[in-house]
Amino acid sequence: MSRKLSEEEKLQRQIRRDEKSVEKETHPQVDKYGAKILRILREEAPDNPGIKYNSEYFEKRLDVSNITVLRAIKKLKVNNLIKERQVHGSYAIEEKFSEEFYSKHCSDEIKKNVSLIASLGGLLQQYKNTPLYESVKDLIYFLQPEIVKGDKIFSSGRVIVAPQMEYDINIQSWEKVYDALLKNRKLKFRYTKPYTNNKAQRIVWPYQLVLDNGSVYLFAYSEYADLVLLYDLNYMTDIVVLNEGFKLPKDYDINNYSGGGRLGAFKDDNKQTFKIRFTDYAKDWIKHHKWADDQKVI
């Protein structure tokens, strides 16, 4: 049997419940619509001064009711994330923390988290123009909405990736393939690369989407070839997600088919060993760069 609580213990429990209730009212969780509003105000609004980013705009943009937008806006204001009053007819980011809010809610842990997430945003730049990038950016604003602040600690990524080749993706193709991945459903499509039979209908078991140097590949098992192959997503047309499912094998990961190599998206059934001679500055460079799991520098 559980021990009966004393009056003092009951009182302390009630106090803790009351504190949590008050905290929830004074510092409510930003919802997904609020996160999207923050991202739009931070990333789009500065370049589009002619647009009025008000509740009517977000009602249409997010395809939700006006009251849903207003609820999200209220939470953003309470959290000191957007200004109390509109600026020239638009909601606007509250760039700085008020001293009271800053000291009460922004612990060193939050500062550390936001700084880390800002850097994560920099690292994600290599995947810009992909649905993956958009989804993760939305998640960042939802998990750590303070990222919108103009404070240099919060808004700039100090760890980034150098400019990369941009992705040019057919979003509809991505969505169909991604849907098949999630459901473990077979795909049917035509492959239009010049050296292939463009009219042939291919049926594959989709294993992974592989992002590599500006291109997106589908790594899949081909029923016709009885092999796992890489298909460039931009050359896949007439894509159909079939109702027929498949069992994902344990060794589906492309890393199991690349022979331990680290030179991009490729697969080969035959593992080959090479001996390469490096001279001048390259001999020092290769000591710190791994091209294969079994690489040895002698």
**pLDDT means per 10 residues in the chain (298 residues)?**
68 62 62 89 89 93 92 88 90 70 52 60 68 75 66 54 75 91 95 85 93 86 91 93 94 79 61 78 74 72
The pLDDT value given to residue 130: 76
Which CB contacts under 8 angstroms, 24+ apart, belong to 44-49?
45/90, 45/92, 49/88
CA 189, chain centre distance (Å): 27
User: Tokens standing for 206?
Assistant: 């989709």
Residue 113 buriedness (CB in 10 A; 0-12 / 13-18 / 19+):
middle
Tell me the domains of the chain and their CATH numbers: 1-94 (1.10.10.10), 107-164 (no CATH), 171-256 (2.30.30)
The pLDDT value given to residue 31: 87
Determine contact, residues 145/34, Cβ cutoff 8 Å.
Answer: yes
Helix (H) or strand (E) holding 62: helix 55-62
Determine contact, residues 200/244, Cβ cutoff 8 Å.
Answer: no
The pLDDT value given to residue 132: 74
The pLDDT value given to residue 102: 47
The pLDDT value given to residue 99: 47
The edge-to-edge listing of strands for the beta sheet with 227-232 is 227-232, 215-222, 201-212, 185-191, 236-245
